[in-house]
Amino acid sequence: MSKIGFIGLGIMGRPMAGHLLDAGHTLTTVKRGSLDNILAEKGVKEAASPKAVAETSEIIITMLPDTPDVEDVLFGEGGVIEGLQPGTLVIDMSSIAPIPTQAFAKRITEAGGEYVDAPVSGGEGGAINAALTIMVGGTEEGFKRALPVLEKMGHSVTHIGDHGAGQTCKVANQIVVALTIEAVAEGLLFASKAGADVAKVRESLLGGLAQSKILDVHGERMIKRTFDPGFKIHLHQKDLNLALEGARSLNLSLPGTANAQQLFQACVANGGAQWDHSGIVRALERLANHDVGDS
259 CB neighbour count, 10 Å cutoff: 13
Domain boundaries, the chain: 3-162, 168-288
Active-site amino acid positions = 170
Q: So what's the pLDDT on residue 230?
A: 83
Query: How far is it, in rounded angstroms, from Cα 257 to Cα 259?
Result: 5
pLDDT at 1: 85
> Which pLDDT belongs to residue 33?
76
Say what the pLDDT of residue 37 is: 85
> pLDDT at position 40, please?
86
> Which overall architecture, per CATH, does domain 168-288 show?
Orthogonal Bundle (1.10)
Per-residue pLDDT at 258: 98
CATH class of the region 3-162: alpha beta
- What pLDDT, on the 0 to 100 scale, is given for residue 295? 55
Mean pLDDT by 10 residues, the chain (295 residues): 95 95 96 83 93 97 96 98 98 96 98 98 93 98 98 98 98 97 98 96 98 96 94 95 94 98 98 97 98 80
Q: What is the pLDDT of residue 293?
A: 78
- DSSP secondary structure of the chain: --EEEEE--STTHHHHHHHHHHTT-EEEEE--SSPPHHHHHTT-EEESSHHHHHHT-SEEEE--SSHHHHHHHHHSTT-HHHHPPTT-EEEE-S---HHHHHHHHHHHHHTT-EEEE--EESHHHHHHTT-EEEEEES-HHHHHHHHHHHTTTEEEEEEEESTTHHHHHHHHHHHHHHHHHHHHHHHHHHHHHTT--HHHHHHHHTTSTT--HHHHHHHHHHHHT--S-SSBHHHHHHHHHHHHHHHHHTT---HHHHHHHHHHHHHHHTT-TTSBGGGHHHHHHHHHT--TT--
